[in-house]
Structure 1
Amino acid sequence: MLRLLNQPWFTSVKGNHEAMALDAFETGDGNMWLASGGDWFFDLNDSEQQEAIDLLLKFHHLPHIIEIINDNIKYAIAR
């Protein structure tokens, strides 16, 4: 799923799980992330973990909300 960030047609928001992962990387305390499903990360081999880290770091620059207007109707995509 994280690899979708590399696709030019894909847009995402920074959700709560991505925020928890980033917080775990920054503080070294991943308890909240692990309790919320982050244990998948430790099932990866070293190169896959590095790829996941590189992709997760892209979420630093993503918004929490995206607004889309279609046929004069506004839709909000939020975390």
Structure 2
Amino acid sequence: MRPTPDLRCYFITGRGSRDHIIDVARRAVAGGARMVQVRSKPITARELYALTEAVALAVGETAHVLVDDRIDIALALRRRGLP
């Protein structure tokens, strides 16, 4: 079960390659972030889904993962048990 959201350290992803974004999100969580918002523009819905899924898997149960501006993607990931 995920912990109660802790908003004291909230990380928002930025630009970069998929691998870079995943790595920075993983390091942010290792450094104490407990909320990660995946925000990457411009990006297709399919790419945003895949990126958010990869970030959620990379950070595991340690942090909550949100997806920016796309409730459809958030709901699709939620149906899979992520994020």
Judge same fold: TM > 0.5, yes or no: no
TM-score (norm 2): 0.25
Rg larger in structure: 1
The structure whose residues are more often helix, as a share, is 1
TM-score (norm 1): 0.26
